[in-house]
Structure 1
Amino acid sequence: MLGHGFGMAYVSFFGVLVIVLLGVVVALFWRAAGRSRSDDDAQRILEERFARGEIGEDEYRRSVELLRSGRLRR
């Protein structure tokens, strides 16, 4: 009666695997999109602070370099 054997187990396993992989891909895209926006926001804030004179040129350049290198994260 139950002549499906391991075939159904493989189908179930690969179905779950596909769903997990799709979830990982969506999460990676979501994370990348959020990171670029936050980096752009951080760059804009640094530019505004520099323009108002709150930070000097050396601090501005150092902060931009840290932001671009990925070592400066919130």
Structure 2
Amino acid sequence: MTTTILPALAAMPAHAWGPGYGPGWFILIPIFWILLIGFFIFFSRRMYWRHRIQGDPTSAEGVLRERYARGEIDETEYRQRLEVLRANRK
């Protein structure tokens, strides 16, 4: 399709596109929209991935993770409780 459009656009007089514009400027608008949609998809997937990795902070594992991070429990207690939580989930 573009092979049939481009010769026709090249044959048009330059004043049809406005002063100083060539027939290739029309490609900028689709590129803009493709980039905008691409950025939206990239950042939404990144936020989804980050949420999956970090988990829900209000869940039992999230609370346990926070307690371990604050130093309220040590590593062995954290691992034991995490094992119990994951065993009960099945």
TM-score (normalizing by structure 1): 0.50
TM-score (normalizing by structure 2): 0.43
**Rg comparison, structure with higher value:** 2
